[in-house]
Structure 1
Amino acid sequence: MTDTSLDWKAFTVAIADDIAEVTLIGPGKGNAMGPDFWSELPVLFRQLDADPAVRAVVITGSGANFSYGLDLPAMSGTLGPVLADGAKAAPRTAFHDHVIAMQSGINAVAECRKPVVAAVSGWCIGGGVDLISAADVRYASADAKFSIREVRVAIVADMGSLARLPAIIGDGHFRELALTGKDIDAARAERIGLLNDVLDDQEAALAAARATAREIADNPPLVVQGIKTVLEQSRAADIAASLRYVAVWNSAFMPSNDLTEAMTAVFEKRQPRYQGE
């Protein structure tokens, strides 16, 4: 595979034989999603959508883990102004706009007319689950673990899991995971429909993703794109409404003592103590 011309900071991208392979590379530990990830993701997937040399996309993580999710320390500057005591319309509006901009990255994955196949190993937490919920097909290694972790750090998930996952795994399973923030293993993720298949190890999961991308790429490209467009259109209005609503909700209500405590606990490497304030 040959690299694309742009120098991405959060990804490596290689395109060969009609398939693009996108690999998360951080720079945060465990491919955590910091400012570079959120600024580059929409640009990257719009380019892949428009590239006639691409008929399918594989997305995976570098190293042992897919992604630890949102890089809280790296993103603390975004949260700081809206968490300030007495924050009024200006910082809340700026925060709302930032959430919408971040959502555009996950949306670009879902809206990409070239089908996206995810290969997951190790941890897939928070934003990682948002990302794979926007993929068309999901494979994982047996050691993969998943968590809609936002509730455990005093955040309402606002990047797409609340909008997309109920249609993938069913409402009951989804509510259990979103309200508890519990971790589940690959076997359970497959049972509830989050995964298409579980493979023995990371290499096998990536091989399965590549094989499916190959099958997709061998089909008539305009028909494949038409299938994706029709499928997305059937649910686009509900997803867009959910994303708009959660962006407004978080702009109004996410600032709290509990969120400050969650961020402090991350920096101090301890368990948070929530008071409902």
Structure 2
Amino acid sequence: MAAMTDAATLDNLVSLKVDRSDHVAEVTLLGPGKGNAMGPDFWRELPVVFNALDADPEVRAVVLTGSGKHFSYGLDLPAMMPSWGEMLGGQALAGPRTRFLDEIRRLQASVSSVAQCRKPVIAAVSGWCVGGGVDVISAADIRLASADAKFSVREVRVAIVADLGSLQRLAGIVGEGHLRELAFTGKDIDAARAERIGLVNDVHPDQDAVLAAARELAAEIAANPPLVVQGVKDVLDVNVAQRVGDGLRYVASWNAAFLPSKDLAEATQAFLERREPKFTGE
């Protein structure tokens, strides 16, 4: 694939790489955190990339994948928490909480840029896809996995109500019962379970095979009339978009009000100390 260098907005990316072949763009998560963890660069660059691909008339379909063995370990907590300190402090008043509400909405908009891209997006997932990784693939149109893929809506295990789209989008993908099980427990599921519940369309033997399948499917989509394909996506999204938008606004307000807690501080400290947290409901 030739690197996409013709759009100035896609130069000098840190957390993502964009390539294209014919009418298919390929977006690869680079990290720089371990396991393509999603830090400040990722949240800033993701909408830049998908807005550019949306506006590029040469792009008709997009493949989204991760570098290395894993799609993403999810939110890079050590990288993100320092900037959230004041906003999440126990004595935070209206000003800091309003700033945190704005921050949640900014991250939500970043993920939503994937869903709002008029070009169909196919996620090719290998290895771990955790937390924010599930938020992002939930915003894709189609998901494929390798046999070693594992998925987790893990926010509950770090004392957070998932607020970037999984709770809003997965109900229409896997159904309410499966979503509630995943979100209440934070459990890990393998690729076979993900396929059974409809989280992924197909499972392929390994990382090379799933990426090849995603490229083939994207090329098949790109061979169709592009404006008609975009019209199909627009029609399919019309009812979903309002429901998802309402849910995102509600959870952003809920977390701005209730997320700061002793349990969140305990979860963060336990994560840094690599131990099991002890939650008290405070």
CA distance in 2, matches of 1:116, 1:183: 24
Q: In the aligned structure 2, how far is the partner of 1:184 from the partner of 1:256? A: 28
Q: Name the CA distance, whole Å, in 2 between partners of 1:85 and 1:110.
A: 34
Q: How far apart are residue 27 of structure 1 and its match?
A: 0.4
Q: Deviations over 1:21-40 (max 9, x none)?
A: 00000000000000000011
1:113–1:228: 8 Å Cα contact kept in structure 2? Answer: yes
Residues 56-205 of structure 1: matches in 2 within 5 Å?
56-205=61-210
Residue 228 (structure 2) aligned to one of 207, 210, 223 = 223
Post-superposition Cα deviations, 1:239-259, rounded to whole Å, max 9, x if no partner, equal 100000000000000000000
Amino acid at match of 2:121: V
User: Residues 78 and 95 of structure 1 are in contact (CA less than 8 Å); yes or no, is this contact kept in structure 2?
Assistant: no
**Runs of 4+ residues over 6 Å off in structure 1:** none
- Rounded to whole Å, the distance in 1 between the matches of 2:52 and 2:238 is 21
Identity %: 65
RMSD over aligned Cα, in angstroms?
A: 0.7
Within the candidate set 232, 248, 273, 1:268 is matched to: 273
- Measured in 2, the distance between the counterparts of 1:169 and 1:235 equals 14
- 1:83/1:260 contact within 8 Å kept: no
1:103 is paired with a residue whose SS is: helix
Offset, 1:268: 1.1
Q: Specify the code of the residue in structure 2 equivalent to 1:253.
A: F
Indicate the residue corresponding to 1:27 in structure 2: 32
Deviation at 1:141, TM superposition (A): 0.5
Give the AA of the match of 1:33: M
Stretches of structure 2 that go unaligned for 5 or more consecutive residues are 6-10
Amino acid at match of 2:222: A
Match of 1:2 in 2: 2
Matched residue SS, 1:69: coil
Aligned residues: 277
TM, length-normalised to structure 1: 0.99
In 1, Cα distance between equivalents of 2:135 and 2:58: 27
Match of 1:46 among 44, 47, 51: 51
